[in-house]
Amino acid sequence: MKKTKWIAIPVLALHLCICCDAQSVADSPFIEGEKHLVLMNPTVDNLRTFLNLTEKDILILPPELKVVGIFHSKSSYNFALSDTFIANGKHHNIRLWKLAIPLSPSLLFTENAGSAAFREIFEKSEGVIFFGGPDIPPEIYGEQMNLLTVVTDPYRNYLELSLLFHLLGGSQNEDFTPFLEDKPEYRILGICLGMQTMNVACGGTLFQDIPSQVYGHTTVEDTLAAERQTLHRNYYRGFALDNSVTAYTCHQITIETGLLADANAGISDLPHVWSSHHQAVKKLGGNLKPTAWSLDGRVIEAIEHKFYPNVLGVQFHPERVEIYDAEHGIKQFAGQRALQSFQHMYPAEHGERFHQNFWHQISDWFTQPQIKCRHE
């Protein structure tokens, strides 16, 4: 992707509009003639995170872009909380769409009861963001469940997996024509679980637990005694009866090419990224390519699509509020007294600039002219 100059554009002016009981395409929240960005799993935390990025001009969106949050009717989260959060706000233009689609593992990777709604989402939006979350049921990618896998929201997984399959296609059903064939410049960002979902939707598999399956560790003590660069979440959290200990940790990544290479252009250090996950890509899904790795090359940290230029999955968490708040002290282990912010620990070349540039790249997706990518 060609590096483009970042131009500040006034952030989206938001006004309340909720349609939370939609059951079909006939009840679509998309406004004819308007442009939309889709947020999957619009929990209060995810909405706050998104608004923090846009209101602080970290993520710059065209002012006319409207927001639609989409979730499954059987999700484990109580989206009435999101209703209340939106209703109590004075600067939101966010519509919610509850989809009551019958989905099961055998129905995800083909045309199904959700196909019409998925087509509506694709045709009426400019892009979609998939946030982090709990583990995917491993039966979906043909494995038995590891003792350390925790599945808490399967219908969220079903919805997001099937939507991503419809958008990108997958090696498990090569007769299906992905929607992006009609609009290759469509934007898709997957963060942590979002990246894992992208990989599984395209026919890939996952390591269900990095410490045990990638590094051979069997205890938390073994994991904490290992090289810090091999830690992908903060295992000190398990030793603490203190909920203020962060679940996140920092490690560096190596970047090969693509969107992240653009974000790190001109920066002398390998970026430190904010990380909290225990699963990772094992077999790559169809037409996906790795573009970033852990320092030892054993964990894939980013994936992109071979043919669609604005499809990116990252295993780390560039969206987190604490990365951009110089006053946010981070507690990394119980009993720690002197708290430091991310910006204090990893200033400028060490991580801060990379994260700012990351969102400038994503902003360019929506503010710069798009060039369609053709098959090689």
Cβ 174 vs Cβ 286: under 8 Å: yes
Which burial class, exposed, middle or buried, applies to 190 when counting CB atoms under 10 A from its CB (0-12, 13-18, 19+)?
buried
Structure tokens at 89: 């706000």
Confidence of residue 31 (pLDDT cuts 50, 70, 90): very high
Confidence of residue 366 (pLDDT cuts 50, 70, 90): very high
Cβ 308 vs Cβ 184: under 8 Å: yes
Q: What is the pLDDT of residue 85?
A: 93
Confidence of residue 126 (pLDDT cuts 50, 70, 90): very high
Question: Which residues, other chains included, contact 338 with Cβ-Cβ below 8 Å and sequence gap of 6+?
Answer: none
Rounded distance between C-alpha atoms, residue 44 and residue 77, angstroms = 10
pLDDT, tens digit, for every residue of 156-199?
999 999 999 999 999 999 999 999 999 999 999 999 999 999 99
Rounded distance between C-alpha atoms, residue 129 and residue 208, angstroms = 23
pLDDT, tens digit, for every residue of 268-306?
899 999 999 999 999 999 999 999 999 999 999 999 999
Burial 154-185 (b: 16+ CB within 10 A, else e): bbbbbbbbbbbbbbbbbebeeeeebbbeeebb
Domains, the chain, in order of start with CATH, read 25-367 (3.40.50.880)
Rounded distance between C-alpha atoms, residue 334 and residue 267, angstroms = 33
CA 110 centroid distance within chain:
23
Structure tokens at 183: 């609009």
With tokens 């005694």, the residue in question is 225
Task: Tell me the whole-structure pTM to 2 decimals.
Answer: 0.92
More confident of the two residues 71 and 266: 71
Q: Is 217 helix (H, G, I), strand (E, B) or coil?
A: coil
CA-CA distances (angstroms) from residue 150 to 108, 155, 187, 259, 308? 20, 14, 29, 31, 32
Q: What is the pLDDT of residue 203?
A: 98
